[in-house]
Copies of this chain bind each other. A is one copy, B any other.
């Protein structure tokens, strides 16, 4: 349903969504992917165990630590990070190919991942930080993940509080009060960023053609 794309040749962008655990970023990411045909999820590799309902190759590529270390050594990861004692990383090739063909990539990664992307690919990066509407709501969401133990939940709450400090590195900040509103907000950001002059690499040729054609009409 995306019919707002540019008529000019453009370069794809990397849309990073981050948030403290439990603020709702993964739900927002999934809704956004349903809503926009030109946005694809960057599927990370991870060494963390697969959770019930997760699909290998769709949610993550689940790999072991040895394979992960091989990929890091070979420079095949655009970013990688250690989160809750597990490794996560972004394969480089799928991203490069998408951006060159005007495809936009969505990254559901944490602030460590965003920082590495920013060091390597700042010009293509658009980053959005999602905040929970209140501490009580965040606590409720963290507790409702049935598969986590009380100890894990307590650790996550402390970590969520720390993670919030990272909002300052992000281009946009959204408070996730209402899921549908948050999805529309992030989608507006995606649509707007596509029209940034710097991404529309075809604009110079387009203007020169207009000017040349105007000469013949005068």
Contact = CB atoms under 8 A, between A and B. Distances in A.
A210 B4 contact: no
Interface stretch (A81-89, A93-101, A193-201): A193-201
A4 B197 contact: no
A contact residues, range:
35 or more
A179 interface: no
Interface string A157-188: 11011001101101111110100010011001
Question: Main secondary structure on chain A at its contact with chain B?
Answer: helix
A138 interface: yes
How many copies of this chain? 2
A157 B192 contact: no
A207 interface: yes
A173 B8 contact: yes
Interface of A: 3-4, 6-8, 128-129, 131-136, 138-139, 154, 157-158, 160-161, 164-165, 167-168, 170-175, 177, 181, 184-185, 188-189, 191-193, 195-197, 200, 203, 206-207, 210-211, 213-218
